[in-house]
Each structure stands twice: as C-alpha cells, then as structure tokens.
Amino acid sequence: KDLGPFQLNAHRLRDAAPGARILHCLPAHRGEEITDEVIDHPQSAIFDQAENRLHTQKALLEWLLK
C-alpha cells in the first residue's frame, strides 16, 4: 500500500517514548495508515480526542450562531 512506510503500527509504537499517547484526527483508514492494534491500544487517546473536538465544534457553532 502507498501508506505502508508511514503506517503507525505496534512495531513503530515500540520506538515511542514510554507513556507516549496515540492521537489521530479521524477518520482513520484502519489497517492502512494505522492498525487496529494501535487504535485500540491502552495508550490511544484517539476517541477522547474526537470527543473533545466534537465539543469544541459545538461551542464554535453556538458562538457563530449568536
């Protein structure tokens, strides 16, 4: 695949600093740019990041519509 050299996978995660957090802006192409194993890893904050972005977007829309 074209994204192979850039894929975030367990092998690359082993090279990260201990306790490093995994972030992704979503949507993710599972198995291409990031593996399922990394998305579901305990160090992953991907879904927390998506939730925080949702609240930010809602607040911005509310502010713009006032």
CATH number of residue 31's parent domain: 3.40.50.1370
Per-residue pLDDT reduced to its tens digit, 23-63: 999 999 999 999 999 999 999 999 999 999 999 999 999 99
pLDDT band at 4 (very low <50, low <70, confident <90, very high): confident
Return the pLDDT at 19: 93
Domain enclosing residue 55, as ranges: 4-65
Q: Which of 53, 3, 1 is nearest to 24 (CA)?
A: 53
27-to-6, 18, 40 alpha-carbon distances in Å = 16, 26, 14
Domain count, the chain: 1
pTM of the model: 0.81
User: What one-letter code names the amino acid at 63?
Assistant: W
State residue 5's pLDDT score. Answer: 87
